[in-house]
Structures are given as structure tokens and as C-alpha cells.
């Protein structure tokens, strides 16, 4: 009986294999030729001078060393409100193109035009995003516990969102400057905060939010006073007293453009919480660089100390 069963199984597998092989069809896929493109990364805070890097796409990242991907012979021009204001100078020590004349202002429109031999010219436009100051901030130590009994601190803050315009934000929670490092996870049941995943139980591992990439928009509170709450590890958010001074944890709230919001969300999900590299491989999100890759953006930020 067992021998008959084995024979039947072998016969069925043979028929399946023959059927599968008969369905195989040779398909030729034409891969588009590799095109060298400029890669721009410029993240400028309101009040800061303009500085950006110019890199290039590479066919295979492991074939080149990191410094070889920078482009040092580019012409980078900066326009404000459509008027040419400066030609940025290349700094070989930092590998940045820097303006010593112009500082970013909220509400002003800025355009960069970049040309380099062997590459199509690129350009990008960004507007300085204004941010509202924090109206209230409450920091409560050991306010609750995670499902594993770990103590959590509560952070609750409010600000008034500018009315009549779509606003995009992200928030970063930092440990004290003496400890540095990261604080692990933050947790929130606030519906405005975007989450990659979630569990039925709040403050569970599945509700872990990266503390340096907390994204939200004003979709549900346009023009209103909004209060947002979240929780973080008591141990990670401790205050240190060293060398005669207090070092406290703090939060940074950023007002950013839609393009930066989409680009940063995509790149942070691919490679962690750091700002995108100065050089990038081709991704599904090209950023806002016309005819190239990367991002040029002007943002504003408010820093609040937790005490």
C-alpha cells in the first residue's frame, strides 16, 4: 500500500513539473541605460546661511568610495524671489557649497540652479516655512507604565497652527545633551501622529514610534490651537547634573514643506532616522530636484526643554 502511495505521489509530482516546464516563456526585459544625474541635498533652517552638497548617482554603490561621489566643480546659483543673489562657493574641507551672503527667511521663496560638466543641469525651489511658537508645555515624570512595567514620562505641548494653508510637521525627542544617544521608543495614542504600525494595547512594543521621526499634519486641526501628547522612557529622559550645570532632555518641532515631508518619510523608513545621506542611490522618491535627485528645503524649528 505504502509503495503504491509513493508511486502515485511521484507520478503527480512528475506531471506537475512537466506542466510547469511547458508554461515557461522566455521574456527579455530591457533595462534602461544608466544616466548620470546630479544629487542635491540642502537642508536649511530659517536664520541659517545656505549650504548644500552636490553629488552624483552611481551605477553600483559598492564600486566607488564615498568621497568619489561628490562633485566639486559645479556652478551653484541661489535666487531669492526670482532674483539672483549669490553664487555659492565650494568648501573642500566640508564638501559643501556655501553662501556667505544670504540667510534663509520664513515666507521667502528660494531657487537653486546647479550645473556641472557631464550632467544635465538641475534646479529646485523651496519656500521658508514659518513655525508657531509653543503656547504650553507640560512634562510629567513617571506618569504611566508600559505593559512590561517600565516607567514612562508624559510630554504634552500645544501650538497654534497657521490657518488656510496645509502644514506639515515632524517632531524629535532627544535625551539630555550630556547623555546624548537616543531614547529608544516613544508612544502616543494621539490620532494626529502617523504610525507605521499599532497594537490594540497602547504603550506596547507594536506602538513603538521612532523618537526622531514623529510625523503629523494639520489635516484635523487647520488654524486651531492643537495639543499633542506622547510618552517616553523615564530612564532615557532623565536630567543630569554635571560640572555645575543641569543637562535636560528636549524636543524639537519642525515646520517643513510637503516635498520634504514625503521625502523624509520615505528615506527614514528605508535607512533609519538620520537625515538622508549627501549622496543617494536612485529611489522611488526623487525629491524636488528637477532633472536630478535629492531635496532642497527651507524649514523652521522650535526647541523646548523638558523640565
The tens digit of pLDDT for each residue in 221-274 reads: 999 999 999 999 999 999 999 999 999 999 999 999 999 998 887 776 654 444
Collapsed DSSP state (helix, strand, coil) of residue 196: coil
Global pTM value: 0.79
- CA gap 294, 274 in Å, rounded: 15
The tens digit of pLDDT for each residue in 171-207 reads: 999 999 888 777 888 999 899 998 754 444 555 555 7
Average pLDDT for the chain? 83
Q: Give the pLDDT of residue 31.
A: 59
Q: Who contacts 285 (Cβ-Cβ below 8 Å, separation ≥6)?
A: 262, 263, 266, 267
Q: Cell numbers at residue 267, please? A: 528615506
Give the strand pairing for 83-87 and 75-80: antiparallel
Largest CA distance in the chain: 90
Amino acid at each position: 500500500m505504502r509503495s503504491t502511495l509513493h508511486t502515485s505521489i511521484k507520478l503527480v509530482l512528475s506531471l506537475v513539473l512537466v506542466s510547469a516546464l511547458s508554461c515557461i516563456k522566455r521574456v527579455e526585459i530591457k533595462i534602461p541605460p544608466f544616466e548620470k544625474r546630479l544629487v542635491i541635498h540642502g537642508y536649511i533652517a530659517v536664520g541659517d546661511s545656505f549650504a548644500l552638497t552636490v553629488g552624483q548617482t552611481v551605477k553600483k554603490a559598492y564600486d566607488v568610495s564615498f568621497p568619489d561621489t561628490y562633485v566639486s566643480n559645479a556652478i551653484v546659483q541661489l535666487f531669492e524671489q526670482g532674483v539672483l543673489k549669490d553664487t555659492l562657493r565650494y568648501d573642500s574641507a566640508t564638501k559643501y557649497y556655501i553662501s556667505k551672503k544670504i540667510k534663509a527667511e520664513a515666507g521667502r521663496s528660494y531657487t537653486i540652479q546647479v550645473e556641472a560638466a557631464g550632467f544635465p543641469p538641475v534646479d529646485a525651489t523651496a519656500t521658508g516655512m514659518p513655525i508657531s511658537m509653543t503656547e504650553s508645555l507640560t512634562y510629567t515624570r513617571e506618569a504611566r507604565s508600559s505593559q512590561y512595567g517600565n516607567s514612562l514620562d508624559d510630554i504634552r505641548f500645544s501650538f497654534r497652527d497657521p490657518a488656510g494653508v496645509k502644514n506639515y510637521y515632524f517632531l524629535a525627542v532627544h535625551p539630555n545633551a550630556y547623555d546624548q544617544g537616543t531614547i529608544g521608543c516613544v508612544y502616543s495614542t494621539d490620532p494626529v501622529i502617523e504610525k507605521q504600525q499599532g497594537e490594540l494595547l497602547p504603550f506596547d512594543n507594536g506602538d513603538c514610534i521612532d523618537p526622531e521621526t514623529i510625523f503629523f499634519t494639520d489635516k484635523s486641526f487647520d488654524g486651531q490651537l492643537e495639543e499633542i501628547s506622547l510618552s517616553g522612557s523615564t530612564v532615557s529622559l532623565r536630567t543630569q547634573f554635571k560640572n555645575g550645570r543641569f543637562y535636560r532632555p528636549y524636543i524639537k518641532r519642525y515646520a517643513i514643506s510637503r516635498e520634504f515631508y514625503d521625502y523624509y518619510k520615505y528615506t527614514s523608513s528605508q535607512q533609519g532616522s538620520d537625515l538622508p545621506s549627501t549622496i543617494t542611490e536612485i529611489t522611488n522618491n526623487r525629491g524636488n530636484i528637477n532633472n536630478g535627485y535629492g531635496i532642497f528645503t527651507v524649514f523652521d524649528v522650535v526647541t523646548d526643554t523638558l523640565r
